[in-house]
Structures are given as C-alpha cells and as structure tokens.
Amino acid sequence: MSDPFVLSIVVPVWMEAAGIVETLETLQPLRTRGHELVVVDADSADGTAALARPFADRLVKSGKGRAVQMNTGASVAKGNVLLFLHADTRLPLNALESLTGFFQSDKAWGRFDVRLSGRGVMFRMIAWFMNRRSRLTGICTGDQALFVRRDVFEALGGFEQVPIMEDIEISRRLRLVSRPYCIQTPVITDSRRWEQGGVWQTIFLMWRLRWRYWRGEAPETLVHSYRSDVRNGKD
C-alpha cells in the first residue's frame, strides 16, 4: 500500500477516574511512534476527562453509549486504521507490529485474542471459548479490541447506534467484506464483571442475551433485560 500506516486508538470512557491514567499510560509508546489516541468521554462526573486530557491527542465529548462514543471518536480520528479499545482492556506489547501485519494484508478488519485478568482456571476457560467462538463465527466482541480500515468503517456507516450488541452487529456487516484478521497475542481485559456477578451467572446472562439477539430481539429490549438482571444481582 502506498499510504503509510497510521493508527488511531479510540477509547470510549464514562466514570473511569479510578483506572483511566493507568490505561492511557500503557498507550503512550504508540503515541511516541506517531500514532494517535482519541478519548471520548460521555460527560463523566468523576473527573475522568481532566485525568485523561494530558495523555490523549484528542479528548472529545459525546452522548452516552459505546456506539455513539466510538462513532464520535472515529469522526475526528486521522488514522487509516481505527482500533476501538475498552477502558479496562490492555493491548499487548507487540500490538503495533501485529497491526502492521494486518495493514499489509488483504483483510478489512480484525481483532485480538483475549485473556482475562483473573488468575483462576475458569477465567482461562472463558477466554479460550471466547477466542474459539470468534474464530469459528467471524464475530468479534468489544473486549477483543476490534480494528478496521478507516475507509471500510466509513463505507459501512460506522457502528449502529444501539445500546447493546453494537460489536456483534458491526461484525456481521464486516464479515461480508472479509473474514477477520485474528491476532493471537492476546489483549488483557479486566475480569471484574465475572468476579462481581459470579462466573456462571455472568456466562449464562451473556449467552441468554446473545441468543435472544440472534433470534431478532431489539437491542433496546435486551439492554433493559441486562440492566434488570444487574440490579437483581444476576450479573
């Protein structure tokens, strides 16, 4: 390809003051190599934006919801590859080299394998199934740090602005363009969701929601069920 590889990392945040500095510090070596970090804050009330500002090339505000935030970040990003990173997920040290391999490939998009931060055997099993399922289906979840060529992202109209399942929805459309480029070196994502809600309870909740989504239920209905289960201690 004639254009040089320029990566824009888009990090949607909301009420992440406790960990946002640690997250962004790990990304500074990429900035020193000429790549871009865009943080999108959904009007956090805990000082997240002020903490993030010194560590980002762009800090922008948007409405709430990851899909809305990620689209907002993509709209101001300058890179020809967009990477969408959750605030509780860490890229591997060789991420840039792996992404350069993607840029030189014929794939339109991709994702990393994932590893959970928890030390137990169960967390390793969860990650194994997540990665295996992704390889078989060509579907990526947000925890796997989805990346996509900018022109492809724009041609598809970005994320559908739904309150849940935006990662699965865009994977369905991207899969029609190409199979994902799968990077085996894993990102590490925080296992607190499983630790706080209970491993099996969280697994069953997510399976149930995805099954209902595949059957055609609207994301607006699913997010209501998800929040209800969280309030009732099922997640």
Distance of CA 187 to the CA centre of its chain: 10
Answering whether pTM is above 0.75, one says: yes
What's the confidence (pLDDT) of residue 4?
93
pLDDT tens readout for residues 80-139: 999 999 999 999 999 999 999 999 999 999 999 999 988 889 889 889 998 999 999 999
Q: How confident is the model at residue 186 (pLDDT cuts 50, 70, 90)?
A: very high
Nearest of 143, 158, 149 to residue 181 by alpha carbon: 149
What's the confidence (pLDDT) of residue 230?
45
Strands (E), the chain: 7-13, 36-41, 58-61, 81-84, 89-90, 109-116, 147-149, 181-189
- Cα distance between residue 232 and residue 235, in whole Å: 8
Report the CATH superfamily, name and number, of domain 7-190: Spore Coat Polysaccharide Biosynthesis Protein SpsA; Chain A (3.90.550.10)
Is it the case that residue 47 has pLDDT exceeding 90? yes
- Mean pLDDT calculated for residue range 26-31: 97
Tokens 């997250």 found at: 23
Please, where in the chain does CATH 3.90.550.10 lie? Answer: 7-190
Parallel, antiparallel, or unpaired: how do β-strands 109-116 and 147-149 relate?
antiparallel
Q: How confident is the model at residue 69 (pLDDT cuts 50, 70, 90)?
A: very high
Count other C-beta atoms under 10 Å from residue 176's C-beta.
Answer: 9
